[in-house]
Amino acid sequence: MTTWITAADAGEIAQPVSPPYNLEQVRHIDGFVGSDRARAMLSRQGFVVTDQPFRQIFEPYLSLETGDPLPSFITVDSLWHTYHVLLEDGVRQVELTQAQFLRRFSERLYKLVAVRRDQPDRVDRDLATFAAVGLALQDPSPRPQWWRGSGCLVGNRP
């Protein structure tokens, strides 16, 4: 079986290498934090599975000096993981932005219909109740003591 070791610079052409590998020729091998047994397996097999010393897949690249970067090592699972990290952060940012917009909208809606809440028209009362429930669920502040256990989200205090 032939294994290809990638060249660090785009100008270099990778040469086929077969196991066992001479780890002394591997750039940044001093960054390997595995045991002596793991290092021997790396030399013999060309790969080894160790404990994860980094929280994110890109952290080893951040810890090196900019003058001597690691060659990029991209696998399908690292792309999948990175995609989901970015997606999760993007969704969180959108939700935070939309939550602020929704809170302002709910406040405006409640103010507009609350003045007509006591009118005989049921639509205004229902809409005021709807907006008040939305505001109550969006409000991060603690609920007043009278609210706890009363089952009352809107209206006057009991």
Q: Where are the domains of the chain?
A: 1-73, 78-138
- Give burial (CB, 10 Å; 0-12/13-18/19+) of 156: exposed
Better-scored residue on pLDDT, 81 or 7 = 81
Question: What's the token pair of residue 36?
Answer: 């002596």
Cβ-based neighbours of 8, under 8 Å, separated by 6 or more: 27, 71
Q: Which of 95, 104, 158 is nearest to 131 (CA)?
A: 104
**Helices H / strands E in the chain, number of each:** 4, 2
Contact 131, 110 (CB under 8 A): yes
**Least trusted range by pLDDT, from 41-50, 63-72, 79-88, 119-128:** 63-72
- Determine if the pTM surpasses 0.75: no
Of 37-41, 52-56, 145-149, give the lowest mean pLDDT range: 145-149
In contact, 60 and 69? CB cutoff 8 Å: no
* Rg, Å, the chain Cα set: 30
